[in-house]
Amino acid sequence: MANLVLAALFYWIVIAQGVTQLLPLVGTVVPQTPAAAAGFVAGDRVLAVNGQPVANWQDLRMAFVEASANLEHPVRVEVEAASKKRVVRSISVARFGEPALVAFSRGVIPV
């Protein structure tokens, strides 16, 4: 019985801690990439991709994978800039060639 109670207690403690997730924040922006061309700067927090809200890094990757279905049109990314101002940036991945398209379609954000 003590084992069952102890297991339930440990389970509750783990659940109460929650799951740590990465925030959708822009880190270093490499020059001459789609992100740099769109005007992203370090510290931007991504709020939505093509109108789809994102809460964490995994949501952001999935939104980019879904956006890669139609890269003929720029991908619209709503961000909260460091100044706390909301800005919409457009990423035109197609003009950066095949490597950027492949990376983008796999959910890798070519920055």
pLDDT digits (tens, 9 = 90+) for 8-67: 888 888 787 777 788 999 888 888 877 888 888 889 999 999 999 999 988 988 888 788
Instruction: Quote the pTM value.
Output: 0.68
pLDDT of residue 94: 65
- Backbone φ, ψ for residue 89 (5° rounding): -115, 145
The pLDDT of residue 97 is above 70: no
Domains by residue range for the chain, with CATH: 21-105 (2.30.42.10)
Query: How far is residue 111's CA from residue 105's CA, in Å, rounded to a whole number?
Result: 14
pLDDT tens track for 68-80: 777 678 889 999 9
For residue 111, pLDDT over 60 is answered with no
